[in-house]
Structure 1
Amino acid sequence: MRRALTTIALGARYASSLSTSKRKILVLHGKGGSGASMKLRFQAIENALPEFDFTYATAPHELDGGGYQWWTLPPGVRSYQATEYGGVDAALDVVRSSQADVVWGHSQGAILLGFAAATEAIDWLGGAKLILNGASWPKPYEAELERGCRGDTLHVLGATDDINPPEQARRLAACFDNARVHVHPGGHYVPTDEAAIECYRDFLLSGAASDCPLPMSTDAPQVMIERTLNSLAGDDVDAALRRIWDLAGDTFKYYYRFDTLDEFIKDAKQTSDEFATSFYGMAITGKRWTVLRPFTVAGGPDGWIGTCVVETVARDDRKRKWIWELRKRRRPPRMGEWYIESIGSSDADGTFDVA
């Protein structure tokens, strides 16, 4: 058997156009906030989730004392007490026009997600993951909520929240058929401690591999790298390995020149089983991967060589970094197409110079 080495040459070809495959997170602030204020609060979360692009919406109704709100309420009335939300259609229009893979609401923004899901007021929302932080019960929509809601949701609540009592958030979570609940010891804020970050990553990244298509020869470099990793971690490992074999270049084929396709698949899976921190061990049975440095081209967009740095966490929690080197074909008939030259591992301690 030819075990996976610290450098794996794949040789897959790409179209020359560069793009990112990052998924989009739309963030909705609470009453009195704004998109700009939430962006400041989310810096630690953005840093912990480099796989996503974040956008921040601002509610349509301005408050007299500053900030914005998603709907209006009579003086002294809370959202879980009100029988009607004023101007809510304008709020739904803001969200409706900002389609995303994930919507993350805090306080009033989280309440909005609860009743929008229950009423199916936003057609694309049913296919998105929802994070509801510090929510309360949307009383005007309790009939729709009590009929039950479909959706992949994470409900984050503070044990000492004195703005929106945590029992309100639990009541809302109970309406969803696929709800997770994370309780932090604090009050009415978005937690960014280690336990919360781990919870966010687990919720947002779980299931991503099985939903990702196989890499294609027409993929842009960053897209193909991420699709390769996701498909290897998905439900059909054999299909992913067959696609890698189909797209492989001469260097890869030379290394496996004595193997048939079936033997290559067997070798890769055996390597994964025996060596947790090998490339195939990390890709097939690892816990997660993170792009530390997206694909960049030396010499600007017209350059012919580029790299991407990925960190992987093995099934036994050991970490390893990998530098993917991609090159552009410089001769016809496929001039301008990208292919993966190699995937080089870090040192045993998980470090290498990527400057």
Structure 2
Amino acid sequence: MAVKKVLALHGYSQNATIFYKKLGALRKYCGKGIEFVFVDAPHILRPVDLEGINPTALGAAEAATDSEPNPEELPRGWWRTNPERTKYDGVAESVAVLRDVLAKNRFDGIFGFSQGAAMAALIAAILEKPHLYPPFLIDGQAPHPPMTFCVVISGFKPIDPNWKHFFDPDYSTPTLHVFGLNDVIMTPERTRSLVEVSANRRVASHTGGHFVPANAPWKLFLREYIKDPFGNVPQPATSDEALALASSLNGTPTTSAPASGRVSPALANP
């Protein structure tokens, strides 16, 4: 059986090592049939970048007490943003890093959490329209074919004017959107902004907060989606409210086993 190779992008204030550990239970459950490749964002965050932010709430490591910082615990981000979250500083450098990774490897899909989820969706969209951003090209060609799937956990639509056009009117990479009803950091309303421009989507929600769900049903669900993005894998059991919201965003009737696979462009704006 061929191994599925997945590019994994960490959240804001995390890094590749932290995300590797956070996905430990899922990685173990996926076994040798799925390989996650973790990449560091290029921007090391400064104290000013974390003012007013609780990094542990974002899934980062607890602050080190040693005088010398541990390189494996340095908080990183794919970009820095203004207070209005409308301008992103550093995206071009992150895209360049990922371009080079893509040029040296072949991936089946991309998996991101929080800011890394937005970055994953952006990379998926750029791979569909690479000539809209010439610096992404290598010898005039995209470094990698479009992804066969994208998994975004607590994601959102990038709205910086320099990048949002990749989602105009939408992007077509099959995408699984997962979010928590009680996520106060990346609210369902912000997640919906990305769902609405995802032409081929599957939406699943849980009752938790800002994290990658990792109990047994969710590990099974994520593993089976990665193995077959168009398979009929039921969403894990959750509250009626979570099921109803996920079903409405999927464009399907409320059910514990919402239909999966492609969603017609007519349902792109629920």
Q: TM class, shorter-chain normalised?
A: 0.5 to 0.7
1:62 correspondence with 2:69:
no
In the alignment, which residue of structure 2 is the partner of 1:159? 181
1:94 correspondence with 2:101:
no
1:110 to 112, 117, 140: 117
1:191-213 alpha-carbon deviations (Å, 9 max, x no partner): 1012311221221112699xxxx
| Matching of residues 176-187 of structure 1 within 5 Å | 176-187=198-209
Aligned 8 A contact 2:149 2:229 in 1: no
2:159 to 115, 139, 143: 139
2:11 to 26, 30, 34: 30
1:246-270 alpha-carbon deviations (Å, 9 max, x no partner): xxxxxxxxxxxxxxxxxxxxxxxxx
2:192 to 157, 170, 177: 170
Following TM superposition, by how much is the alpha carbon of 1:183 offset from its aligned partner in structure 2, in angstroms? 0.4
1:108-154 alpha-carbon deviations (Å, 9 max, x no partner): 11111223333434643623311111112311144442411111111
Counterpart of 1:38, as a letter, is F
Distance 1:173 1:204 in 2: 18
Counterpart of 2:154, as a letter, is G
| Matching of residues 150-229 of structure 1 within 5 Å | 150-206=172-228
Query: TM-score, normalization: structure 2?
Result: 0.63
| Matching of residues 231-310 of structure 1 within 5 Å | none
Aligned 8 A contact 1:136 1:166 in 2: no
Deviates more, 1:199-208 or 1:118-127: 118-127
Question: Rg larger in 1 or in 2?
Answer: 1
Count of matched residue positions in the alignment of Structure 1 and Structure 2: 186
Distance 1:82 1:208, change over 3 A: closer
Deviates more, 1:187-196 or 1:153-162: 187-196
Distance 2:3 2:43 in 1: 31
More strand per residue: 1 or 2?
1
Counterpart of 1:52, as a letter, is I
In the alignment, which residue of structure 2 is the partner of 1:83? 86
Distance 1:108 1:129, change over 3 A: same
1:172-195 alpha-carbon deviations (Å, 9 max, x no partner): 122122111110111111110123
Distance 1:73 1:31, change over 3 A: same
Query: TM-score, normalization: structure 1?
Result: 0.49
Runs of 4+ in 1 over 6 A off after TM superposition: none
DSSP-derived class of the 2:156 partner: coil
2:28 to 44, 47, 50: 47
Deviates more, 1:102-111 or 1:169-178: 169-178
% identity of equivalent residues: 26
1:126 correspondence with 2:146:
yes
Following TM superposition, by how much is the alpha carbon of 1:72 offset from its aligned partner in structure 2, in angstroms? 1.7
Counterpart of 2:28, as a letter, is N
DSSP-derived class of the 2:179 partner: strand
Following TM superposition, by how much is the alpha carbon of 1:97 offset from its aligned partner in structure 2, in angstroms? 2.3
Unmatched tracts of structure 2, length 5 or more: 48-73, 131-135, 137-141, 234-270
